[in-house]
Structure 1
C-alpha cells in the first residue's frame, strides 16, 4: 500500500474528495482558496476550477449535474457551462460567517451536509438532511462537524465533532437517510494525538478516518476499535474517499494551514492495494 502524492497544487484546506464511476473522474476542493479540482484518472489530467465561494463537498445528480455545498447552501452546477444556481439555502436566520463543511451522499440519494462558522464557534455548527428539495435539521450545538458517513445498507449514520473527539453512530431509515433513534458512542478518540476529521465506510463496515495532525488514516472496525493505520506523506489529512470501479483505491485530501510553507501538502492517491470500498451514490433531487 504505497501512497502517491499527486501533482496537485498545495491546498490550504483540502476537503470533499469524491469519485464518479461513470466518467472515472475524481475531485476535491481547497475551501479557503475557493477552488475545485477534477482529475481524469486514466490520463491524470488535472483541471482547476475557480468558484465564487468556499465549497467543501460535491455530488453527482441522477441527471448528471454537480451538486456543490458552498457557503450557506447547496448549488447546482452545469459541468459544461459552469453555470451555478442555488438549490437550497441552509442556516436560515443566522447572520453571516457560516460555510458548509463535511458531507456525504446517503445510499438512498439523500445528503447529510454540515455547516460551521468560518472561525469555529462553540455550538454554532449543525448537520442537515437534504432530501427532495427540503432541508431538515438533524443535529445542532456542534463546533467542527466531521466524519459523516453511512453503513453499506444505509441503516446507520456516523458523525463527529472534531473538538469533542468522539464518533457517534445513529440508526437511520435506509430508504430516506433520516434519523430514527438515539446516538450512541461508536469510537472514542479522546486522549489521543491529533483529531477526528473526514471518514468513509467500506463494504465490510470498517470506518476509515483521517486523523488530523498525525499523518495517518485509521481503519476502525465495526466494533469501534482501531485495527490499523496507513501513513500519509503529510501531517494533516482531512478526508478519504474510495476511487475506482470497485472502490479499490483511495483518495485523501490534506491541509497546509498552520504549517510551514515548505511542508509537503496536497492530495494523495493510494494505489497498489485492493480496498473493499464503496463509491458514493448519486443524488436524487
Structure 2
C-alpha cells in the first residue's frame, strides 16, 4: 500500500515539475519575444538612418565632384589669386555638410571652414581642402555601406528569432515537438525572405535544419542580435584596420619587388 502511494506521489510530483518547467519556459520565450521585437525596432531605426546618411554622402560626392573639377580648372595659372566670394561660400558649404555627415572622422575634423581675415584664400588652398573633404566622405561612405550589410543581416536574424519564438508560443502551429524544434521550412513560411542561417543547426543526424534555441539561450537577446552600438563601432574599426592592412601589404609587396629588382641589377653588373 505504501509502495503504491509512494509511486503515485512521485508520479504526481513529476507531473507538477514538468508543468512548472513548461510554464517557466513559456514565460522565458515570451520575454525573449518582447526583447527581440524591441531589438528589431532598434535595428530598423538604425538601418533607416544609415541609408539616409549613405545617400547624403552620395549626393555630396556628386555635387563636390563638379565643384572640384571647375575649381581645378580655375586654379591652373592662378596660384596666387584669391577665390571669389561665391567659390568661398560653396567650399564652406561642402566642408560644413561633410563634417555634419561624417561626424567624428579625425581627418575631416582637422579641416576648418575658411574665415577670410581681410583677404579670401587662394585657389590652391581651397582646392586641397575640397580634395581632403571628398576623400573623407568617400571613406565614410564605404564604412556606411559595410554597416548597411551588417544591419540588414542582424535585422534578418531578429526577424528569424521573432518568427521562431512566435511559432513556439502558438499552440495551434503544430505538435509540441514541432514547436519545440521549429524547422527552417516552418519558420520561412512566416517570413518574406530567407531566414538567417546562423540561427539553425542540424539535429538527429538528419539534413534538415531546426531553430537552435540552445544557442539563443546562451546570450541575452540584445547581445545575440548585436544591437549594441559598441558592436557596430568595433565592426567599423575592424573594417578600417582591414583597409589599412591591405594598403600596408601592398606597400610591402612593392618594396620587396623594388629591393629584389635592385639586387638583380647589382648581380648583373658584377
Same fold (TM over 0.5): no
Which gives a bigger RCO, structure 1 or 2 (Cα 8 Å, sep 6+)? 2
* Larger strand proportion of the pair: 1
Give the TM-score band, short-chain normalised: under 0.3
Q: TM-score under structure 1 normalisation?
A: 0.20
For the pair shown, which has the larger CA radius of gyration, 1 or 2?
Answer: 2
